[in-house]
Amino acid sequence: MTATRRDELTRPIVAWLAASLLMVVLLHARQQPLWVCGGFLALVLWRILHAWRGVPLPTRDHRMLWLLKHALAIGIFWVVYRRYGGVIGRDAGISLLVLLIGLKLLEMKSRREFVLIALLGFFLLVTAFFYSQSMPVALYALACVTALLGSLVAMAQPGRARSVGANLRLAGTLMLQAAPLMLIAFVLFPRPGSPLWSLPKDARRAISGLSEEMSPGELTRLTMSDAVAFRVAFSTNRPSAAEMYWRGPVLVKTDGRTWTPGDPSDRSAPAITAQGVRYSYSITLEPTNRPWIYALEHPSTVPRGTRLSRDLRVLSARPITDRIRYSAESYTQAWVAEADSEELRAALQLPPGAYPRTRALARQWRLEDRTDEGVVRRALQYFRNEPFVYTLSPAQIYGDPVDGFLFGARQGFCEHYASAFAVLMRAARVPARIVTGYQGGEYNPVGDYYIVRQRDAHAWVEVWLGHRGWVRVDPTAAVAPARVQRGIDQALPGLGATVGGTAADLAVDLAGWRELRYAYDALNNRWNHWVISYNARRQSAMFDDLGLSADWRALSLLLGAGLLLAGALLVAWSLRGRRAHGDAIARAYRRFCAKLARRGHPRAPYEGPMDYARRVSASLPAAAADITRITGLYARARYGQTSSAADAQALRSAVRRFAP
3-class DSSP state for residue 196?
coil
Contact 279, 232 (CB under 8 A): no
* Active site annotation includes 37: no
Pick 387 or 621: Cβ nearer other proteins: 621
Looking at the DSSP assignment, which residues form a beta bridge with residue 389?
Answer: 411
Element (H, E) at 301: strand 299-301
Give the shortest CB-230-to-other proteins separation in angstroms.
55
DSSP helix, strand, coil percent of the chain (3-state; round to 5): 55, 15, 30
Contact 291, 316 (CB under 8 A): yes
What is the spatial distance between Cα 450 and Cα 93, in angstroms, rounded to a whole number?
39
The identity of residue 55, as a single letter, is V
Stretch that binds other proteins, among 94-102, 364-372, 373-381, 629-637 (CB under 8 A): 629-637
Give the shortest CB-4-to-other proteins separation in angstroms.
8
Q: Tell me, letter by letter, the H, E, C secondary structure of 198-235.
A: CCCHHHCCCCCCCCCCECCCHHHHHCCCCCEEEEEEEC
Give the shortest CB-149-to-other proteins separation in angstroms.
18
Give the shortest CB-611-to-other proteins separation in angstroms.
6
Please identify which residue in 611, 618, 653, 656 interacts with other proteins, judged by CB under 8 A.
611
Give the shortest CB-12-to-other proteins separation in angstroms.
16
CA angle 134, 139, 98 (to 5 degrees): 85
Give the shortest CB-110-to-other proteins separation in angstroms.
13
Stretch that binds other proteins, among 219-227, 398-406, 446-454, 630-638 (CB under 8 A): 630-638
Contact 631, 568 (CB under 8 A): no
Residues 366-395 that bind other proteins (CB under 8 A): none
Pick 181 or 650: Cβ nearer other proteins: 650
Rg (CA), the chain: 36
Give the shortest CB-621-to-other proteins separation in angstroms.
15
The identity of residue 475, as a single letter, is P
Residues 153-182 that bind other proteins (CB under 8 A): 157, 159-160
Q: Count CB-CB contacts under 10 A for residue 480.
A: 22
* Active site annotation includes 593: no
Helices 584-598 and 552-581: angle between axes, nearest 10 degrees: 110
Give the shortest CB-609-to-other proteins separation in angstroms.
7
What is the spatial distance between Cα 556 and Cα 631, in angstroms, rounded to a whole number?
50
Pick 133 or 628: Cβ nearer other proteins: 628
Catalytic residue among 458, 489, 601, 626: 458
* 621-to-610, 627, 655 alpha-carbon distances in Å: 15, 9, 17
Residues 635-654 that bind other proteins (CB under 8 A): 635-636, 638-641, 643
Please identify which residue in 610, 619, 644, 649 interacts with other proteins, judged by CB under 8 A.
610
Stretch that binds other proteins, among 181-189, 244-252, 539-547, 606-614 (CB under 8 A): 606-614
CA angle 101, 2, 99 (to 5 degrees): 10
Helices 164-188 and 552-581: angle between axes, nearest 10 degrees: 150
What is the spatial distance between Cα 198 and Cα 552, in angstroms, rounded to a whole number?
20
* Active site annotation includes 414: yes
Contact 260, 213 (CB under 8 A): yes
The answer to whether residue 318 forms part of the interface with other proteins (CB under 8 A) is no
Please identify which residue in 258, 628, 647, 658 interacts with other proteins, judged by CB under 8 A.
628
Pick 466 or 582: Cβ nearer other proteins: 582
Please identify which residue in 613, 616, 623, 648 interacts with other proteins, judged by CB under 8 A.
613
Stretch that binds other proteins, among 139-147, 385-393, 554-562, 634-642 (CB under 8 A): 634-642
Give the shortest CB-628-to-other proteins separation in angstroms.
5
What DSSP string runs through 330-366? EEEEEEE----HHHHHHTT---TT--HHHHHHHHHHH
The answer to whether residue 576 forms part of the interface with other proteins (CB under 8 A) is no
Catalytic residue among 91, 414, 489, 593: 414
The answer to whether residue 4 forms part of the interface with other proteins (CB under 8 A) is yes
Residues 105-164 that bind other proteins (CB under 8 A): 157, 159-160
Pick 197 or 606: Cβ nearer other proteins: 606
Catalytic residue among 91, 311, 456, 474: 474
Pick 298 or 638: Cβ nearer other proteins: 638
On the 0-12 / 13-18 / 19+ scale of CB atoms within 10 A, 162 is middle
Residues 579-598 that bind other proteins (CB under 8 A): 581-582, 586
Residues lying near other proteins in the complex (CB under 8 A)? 4, 157, 159-160, 581-582, 586, 605-611, 613, 628, 631-632, 635-636, 638-641, 643
List, by residue number, the catalytic residues.
414, 458, 474
